[in-house]
Amino acid sequence: MAIEINKEFLEHIEELIISGDDQALLSVLAEEHPADIAEIIDQLNLKNATYLFKLLDSETTAEALMEIDDDDREKILKNLSAEEIAEEIDELDTDDAADIIAELPVERKEEVLSEIEDDDHAKDIVELLQYDEGTAGSLMAKELVKVKETWKVPTCVSKIRTQAQEVTRVHSIYVVDKHDVLIGRLSLKDLLVSSDDLYISDIYIPKLDTVNVKDDVEDVVRIMQKYDLEAIPVVDDKNHLLGRITIDDVVDIIKEEAEKDYQMAAGITEDVEADDSIFEKTKARLPWLILGLLGGLAAASIMGGFEDALHSFPELFYFTPLIAAMAGNVGVQSSAIVVQGLANDNIKGSMMNRLVKEIGLSLVNGIILAALIFLFGTILHYQIDISITIAISLIIVIIIASLIGTFVPLILDKKGIDPAVATGPFITTSNDIFGIFIFFYIAKLILGF
């Protein structure tokens, strides 16, 4: 049964740590999930967290280590010797082990690697550390089950049993030729029902999705999402099998990308956490706030240029916030849909078709909203030409805001810039400026001031 990690429970854990009652601690935390252990460690102070970490066996703490907050993990690792860290690394798959090693200072990396008892494990970790961050190679694990096409069924079964002992979960069985070139996959069912005199070459399935070790992780995510894969093999340029990427790693990437895009859409330039320092939060937010300030000054300057109009037609002033808000809202809606489509790789069709569709959609929405505004003006007995000005301005502003929100992310994506930067403050600020300018320019044409 899962434990309830509340204030009383944490206080009890701290009391046991202070009193040095290790047996009671082990009894309380026995057979608990590593994720729960990680949550407990995250909420303890560094001294108590380190004590608990050292007390528990490496098999438990190794998995918990991957769940602990990055900053807390860094602090705990600083309080462990190279030998103690190596014991944790020995219990981890190579991809997770490489992530931990990568966080250590250079001199500590060498110390920890030298303490790892399994030479092959250490060699695999070193290999993974060579790949550039953000590539399939940096995400893959070396643990997998592979068989040769030249093996007969009994030999294959025996080899799989041996290899499976080193793999946490067997998602697929990969088939290679004598040169270790990946040629397909093997169905466990086909293997079990096949006669002993058959070769693997007689029963393997040649159709197989793969990714290159140099591929971007976002491409890996798209492929695995598109084909609902639990794991995908990683190959080099000559199709040699190097490793595999599993769904849990992909989920982590999706989560990280979603968090980054959400923060960018909200006007935060870099990854921040709720408990980061004031300086870090200021550094992340201030650039977009400055952009908003400049946008506001630009909008104020535009309105200042039409000061006489505001004296002659004060009703225009009342509707200025509405025009700016509608421009920003429409732009953010359009950009959010496009950014989501780009992320999911389902933006189809030509630019012209999308242009026509956006203009049509904006026209329909604009006419409906303009009709409501016109009705509102009639009820308040505004002059007919002022109501017409506001209604026409609203239609045009909505069309232009929609086009900006649609095509700015597309253009950024083609230029290799993250389209998520187009959402939020960027689109809102630019559309505020365009909206106010268009509103007063149309008012000038219709009202003749």
The pLDDT mean for the chain works out to 85
Give the per-residue pLDDT at 318.
Answer: 78
Structural domain boundaries in the chain: 7-134, 145-246, 278-447
Give the per-residue pLDDT at 271.
Answer: 58
Q: Pick the residue with more confidence: 351 or 116?
A: 116
Give the per-residue pLDDT at 82.
Answer: 92
| pLDDT at 265 > cutoff 70 | no
Total-model pTM: 0.66
pLDDT category at 19 given cuts 50, 70, 90 is: very high
Give the per-residue pLDDT at 177.
Answer: 95
Give the per-residue pLDDT at 262.
Answer: 58
Give the per-residue pLDDT at 102.
Answer: 92
Pick from 106-110, 136-140, 233-237, 290-294: least confident = 290-294
Give the CATH number of domain 145-246. Answer: 3.10.580.10
Give the per-residue pLDDT at 355.
Answer: 75
> What pLDDT, in 10s, does the model give residues 207-232?
899 999 999 998 998 899 888 899 99
User: Of 313, 312, 310, nearest to 302 (Cα)?
Assistant: 310
> What pLDDT, in 10s, does the model give residues 158-181?
999 999 888 888 889 999 999 999
Give the per-residue pLDDT at 442.
Answer: 86
Q: Pick the residue with more confidence: 273 or 59?
A: 59
> What pLDDT, in 10s, does the model give residues 338-392?
777 776 666 666 667 777 887 888 889 889 988 998 888 888 888 888 888 888 9
Residues 45 and 43: their CA atoms lie apart, in Å, by 7
Give the CATH number of domain 278-447. Answer: 1.10.357.20
Domain 7-134 class in CATH: mainly alpha
> What pLDDT, in 10s, does the model give residues 66-77?
888 888 888 899
Give the per-residue pLDDT at 270.
Answer: 55
